Structure 1
Amino acid sequence: DLAKPPVNEPREPEQFLMQAPQGNPLLLSHTLQELLSKDSVQVELIPEKKGLFLKHVEYEVSSKRFKCSVYRRYNDFVVFHEMLLQKFPYRMVPALPPKRMLGADREFIESRRRALKRFINLVARHPPFSEDVLLKLFLSFSGSDVQNKLRELVQGVGDEFMTCRLATQAKDFLPADIQAQFAASRELIRNIYNSFYKLRDRAERIASRAIDNASDLLIFGKELSALGSDTTPLPSWAALNNSTWGTLKQALKGLSVEFALLADKAVQQ
């Protein structure tokens, strides 16, 4: 007889049952401050070079709640996101930033880092997600096979409502005018999204102009500094004497410092 392939040991369903929330589960029982205090996660870039041509970007992910730092790559975030979607198919899992295969410039990498930070903080402060073992593993597991560990946690468990005690009572919590409420909510969300999209576009244009302005101020200051540092002696026919010219050069150097400060402030805006 052929040997039977090994199978995972069955796990008791009770192990994965979620605690039923108190009161109406349709109402959020947390204040904004309580949600923000759940965790604060930092995501910092760690450039890493592999081989002669290919470069991979690694991130240091630090959780204030779990008091630890781990290293993650973009693909680790992708698997974590996929497992959240698989386990919580009826919830609004935050979206991940896109992956660019080749030619990722510094601006794109920094933009994606900020987006990953927003993503992981939204997940870490989401009431159900924040208490799930997936998040704890992603933020605290320091091994090299985090992707396999994440998949193992979800394997054979089923989605959230297969193990939730409220699943059999779900219809009882739905209001009679649920379709009308959904329609109104969709319209409101669409309007909010369109407004924030326009605001983001304008903010990016303002930031771009600020960067250009800072660059011009810096160049202006450098030219003033170069002029103030010129050591070429005055010709005999010059109307200015050396003392007056020296005073002017000192003033130009002082102005160059002021322009450098203005450039720094423009970048920070």
Structure 2
Amino acid sequence: MFNAPRRTAGTSLASSAFLNNSSSGGVGGFDPLAQSTPIPSTSGFGEVDPWSAVPSPALSGTPRREEVNDAELALPVPSNGSITAREGLNQFISDPPSLYLSLADQLDPSGSGYISLASVQRLFLTSRLPASTVEKIIGVTARDQSSLSRHELFCALALVALAQTSPDSSEISIERLSSSLLNLPLPNLSTTSPSPATPGPETSPHGFAVTPGVESASPWDTAPRLNGNGNGTSNHYSQPGMASADESIAEKGYWKKLEKVEVSLIPEKEGWFLQKYQIESDKRNAGALSRRYTDFVWLLDILVKRYPFRLLPSLPPKRIGPDATFLETRRKALKRFINMLVNHPVTRDDGALNVFLTEPNFEAWRKRTKVSTDEESASKRLTPAQEMGIPADLEEKLGLLRDHLPALLASYQKLVVLAERSLARFQAASADASRIALSLRTVGEEMPVCCYRCVPGGGHSCSLCVGVGRGLGEVGESWTRVAEEGEQRAVAILLGNIEALKSQRDLYLAFRDLFIRHDKLSKDSVESLGKKVETRTKKIESLKTAGKPGWEVEVDKLVAASDTDTASINTLLARRVFVRACMWHELAVVFHSRQAAQATLGWREFAAQQEAGDRALVGIWQALKDRLESMPVE
């Protein structure tokens, strides 16, 4: 049971319909990175965190390139069992419209028969289809992870035309295409050459022409813009029904004052297998403290009971006999866990969290201290401004996020897998660069030794062989520097890009778990208590009308019970309002700001690291080029 992901408090399997929405991810079972849209489970991470560190395998049914006859696509037979539709589609892509051929010739000027996914993507971006639809089309048609054949491209173009005529992306399938060939229009795409071009006033960054008159605003520009009447429109925080101005202003620039908690492994284990972690905050003067995994579990259980309607991160799973890779992965997850808690505007001030981060003898403190687990609605009261700030259409706003969470989670999981693959490639390239350096040094040393003009024992030496050998040694030295730069770049990707992607994914996971807890814990007994009060009221009236002896005593008991239930109803109604306020605060203030800031800052840092790495490599090769000018040729 220890190897299974732990159950997060307050979660349930049968919680929300959106958890089973397997079609929202866009690519479904055709995506080579994931066999299906991740199915959230009762654990915090479910099946969206690859703890095994093994890349997701390709589908077993995906044929290898050399095993497929490209003259006929391996298309699925329609569900009605007829192969007429399939034969019609194969005939269509074997004799496509002239526009299809023209686009294929532009994308494949060398006539190799294969078009890179990057070129296909640049072309399909001019269709103005949603990215999820384009991703699904490529996933349906591409059997290779790097390119499409011409016939696959023809099928993809037909799906683009179908998608442009059908607003429902769920209808984009081979079966639907097979039945729509007779009335299928030509795809509306730009016929500009798809070769990359320098972005100009009339060219997009992808090399295609941009429709004149369409404003291309920076996605990070939040300055007020002029509308059609010339009036400035402010950003989203000032729109009616959004979060209050005080809350929004308080959260602006939160990322500049983040508290950072470091979590590191303690080499010495407690007993035979209990692993301890060292935690240290940069804003709580408590120094380095040791904590066990069960201490993190205790903290989450307390916070879930106190703040069931707040965004709370999930814990990584537990395992008996974990290896070093698992421990390191869990350490990083615990670091993301605690840093999300200390930077949440509500939980960062919690007493239990503060004790967790500052108490040296935490285990002894837990044994002697009884911690309150009362829900925050029992002690906190909303101000009139906070109550008025809850929008009437809150359920609709939450429903938008609820419907799109599966697609967001699936996309971020694919990004994590791809980033980990990139890391593996960097590490492999660095290792190969080291091997190249060693081989070059060996050649440089052996060349003078085997030369017939060189005298063994340090006598006469051939200047040509010695010079070439020295030059090869300098090439080997440059490859050594390339290997070192590659290792540093791999670490930067690991510490930066991958963790940033996982932090963003953890945010979506936290809201998914919040929906689960809300569906389970927001229910109350207001309606049943109201019926009891109504029944007692009728009984009181009947007793008064009957006027039997002793009716006053009975009426007093009924009135007292009704007063108790009425007080409970008022408390539960106040809790309902408080729960709505919590959900609105988490959506409009916490989630909204962090979703944007984490994505922007993460990719800014990644771009800066890539630029620095590329400049370092350019410097290495430029210096080698200058040194090799003196390397002899004859």
Q: TM-score, length-normalised on structure 2?
A: 0.34
Select 1:196's aligned residue among 407, 412, 418.
412
Structure 1 partner of 2:300: 81
Deviation per CA, 1:121-145: give whole Å up to 9, x if none.
1111101111111121111111151
**What are the within-5 Å matches in structure 2 for residues 89-128 of structure 1?**
89-106=308-325, 108-128=326-346
Deviation per CA, 1:78-136: give whole Å up to 9, x if none.
22122111211121211122223224233x32222222221111111101111111121
Letter in 2 for 1:42: E
Select 1:260's aligned residue among 466, 477, 480.
480
Secondary structure of the structure 2 residue equivalent to 1:175: coil
Q: Taking structure 1 as reference, are residues 88 and 57 closer, same or farther at Cα in structure 2, changes over 3 Å only?
A: same
Deviation per CA, 1:195-245: give whole Å up to 9, x if none.
222222221111111111111111221222344455994475779945443
**What are the within-5 Å matches in structure 2 for residues 171-182 of structure 1?**
174-182=390-398
Whether contact under 8 Å (1:36, 1:125) holds in the other structure is: no
Structure 1 partner of 2:51: none
- More moved, 75-84 vs 230-239: 230-239
How far does residue 50 in structure 1 lie from its aligned partner after superposition? Answer: 5.1
Structure 1 partner of 2:277: 59
Structure 2 partner of 1:69: 288
> What is the CA–CA distance in structure 2 between the aligned matches of 1:188 and 1:224, rounded to whole Å?
54
**What are the within-5 Å matches in structure 2 for residues 1-269 of structure 1?**
24=244, 28-34=248-254, 36-49=256-269, 54-67=272-285, 68-106=287-325, 108-145=326-363, 148=366, 152=369, 154-155=371-372, 157-166=373-382, 174-229=390-445, 233-234=449-450, 236=452, 241-269=461-489
How far does residue 65 in structure 1 lie from its aligned partner after superposition? Answer: 0.8
How far does residue 146 in structure 1 lie from its aligned partner after superposition? Answer: 6.3
> What is the CA–CA distance in structure 1 between the aligned matches of 2:365 and 2:467, rounded to whole Å?
66
Letter in 1 for 2:430: A
Letter in 2 for 1:253: G
Q: Aligned residue pairs: how many?
A: 242
> What is the CA–CA distance in structure 2 between the aligned matches of 1:56 and 1:215, rounded to whole Å?
35
Secondary structure of the structure 1 residue equivalent to 2:361: coil
Q: Taking structure 1 as reference, are residues 74 and 231 closer, same or farther at Cα in structure 2, changes over 3 Å only?
A: farther
Secondary structure of the structure 2 residue equivalent to 1:44: strand
C-alpha RMSD over aligned residues: 3.5
> What is the CA–CA distance in structure 2 between the aligned matches of 1:137 and 1:193, rounded to whole Å?
33
Letter in 2 for 1:181: K
Structure 1 partner of 2:117: none
Q: Taking structure 1 as reference, are residues 144 and 90 closer, same or farther at Cα in structure 2, changes over 3 Å only?
A: closer
Mark the structure with the bigger radius of gyration: 2
